[in-house]
Amino acid sequence: MGTIRVPEIVPPPADDCLRLKKAFEGLGTDEEGVIWVLGRRNATQRKQITEAYQHLYKASLLDRINSELSGDFKKAVLLWVYDPAERDARLIREALKATKKRVKQLEVLVEVACTTPPTHLVAVRKAYSLLFHSSIEEDIHSNVASAALRKLLVGLVSSFRYDGEVVDTNLAISEAVELYKCIKARLFQSNRFLWILSTRNVFQLRETFECYHRSFKNPIEQVIREAIIGIGTDEDSLTRAIVTRAEVDMVKIKTAYSEMYKSTVESAVDGDTSGDYKAFLMTLLGTRL
């Protein structure tokens, strides 16, 4: 369940376009006007606004946002307005092509591959090829130095994960043991290790990870992170999670975040962001009326 608050009566796309056009005109941009319109529209409505803006004003709404806004606020709004598959394709491309690439930037590939429906991953791969004339797998091979990480990422983005909520507890127990043996022997490129991580549905993996934690006392996410890539917490992922999940499952994410960190997503945003950027994220979280 998402957190954005779409009005009960949504204005016609032409009316939203007019308000955005007025927000962009004059000496200074009316950022609150931009937030008021785009922060309260779902993906279908945003697409209609984008198409209507092009039709009415013979100009690209994305280009106008790019020229009128700035900083993190601009990046967040652009990501929000992009078609979801194109947005995720661009995020993956940005991560893979970063000049000074840090491994934590590659977490976006894991997020797209593991937390979205298989049909969305297929759409992302298609969008990536159309936009950049290359495949995600090819660019992983060209831009990721670690052989173990490279093989894992290729497996994740090229698999078609079962999209269901069925969980087999006995299977989770046995596969937790298999993962433990692979990790202990540092067999991160073994076919079995990669197959479990890249093909099991999210709910089955969650049960397997919980079994691993109960049996071997360490969270498997931490063990794999430290053993393969040694990354720490990526605060930027909080912002990305809000923009990409606000109309999907942000309610669940907020609950899980509170349980894990004994704090709220809103508190994290309040402490780490400011200005229009903060106002936009809070709008997506449904905390600004």
Amino acid letter for position 279: A
Q: Say if 84-158 and 169-229 have the same CATH topology.
A: yes
DSSP per position, 51-114: HHHHHHHSS-HHHHHHHH--HHHHHHHHHHHS-HHHHHHHHHHHHHH-TT--GGGGHHHHHHHH
Domains of the chain, by residue range, sit at: 84-158, 169-229
Q: What is the pLDDT along the chain (289 residues), one digit of tens a residue?
A: 889 999 999 999 999 999 999 999 978 899 999 999 999 999 999 999 999 999 999 999 999 999 999 999 999 999 999 999 999 999 999 999 886 666 667 888 988 888 788 899 999 999 999 999 999 999 999 998 888 888 889 988 998 877 777 899 999 999 999 998 988 888 877 888 888 888 888 788 888 888 988 888 766 655 555 554 443 334 466 678 889 989 988 998 888 788 877 889 899 888 888 999 999 999 999 997 6
CATH code for the part of the protein at 84-158: 1.10.220.10
pLDDT of residue 182: 86
pTM of the model: 0.82
Residue written as token pair 């509170």: 258
pLDDT of residue 117: 84
pLDDT of residue 289: 61
Determine the distance from the C-alpha atom of residue 265 to the mean position of all C-alpha atoms in its chain, rounded to a whole number: 15
CA angle (148 as vertex; 223, 215 as ends), nearest 5? 25
- Cβ-contact 249, 241 below 8 angstroms: no
* Average pLDDT over the chain, rounded to an integer: 87
Instruction: Give the span between the Cα atoms of 112 and 282, in whole angstroms.
Output: 23
pLDDT of residue 122: 94
User: Is residue 111 helix, strand or coil?
Assistant: helix
Residue written as token pair 């006007």: 33
Four-way CATH pick for 169-229: 1.10.220.10, 3.60.150.10, 3.40.50.10490, 3.40.50.300: 1.10.220.10
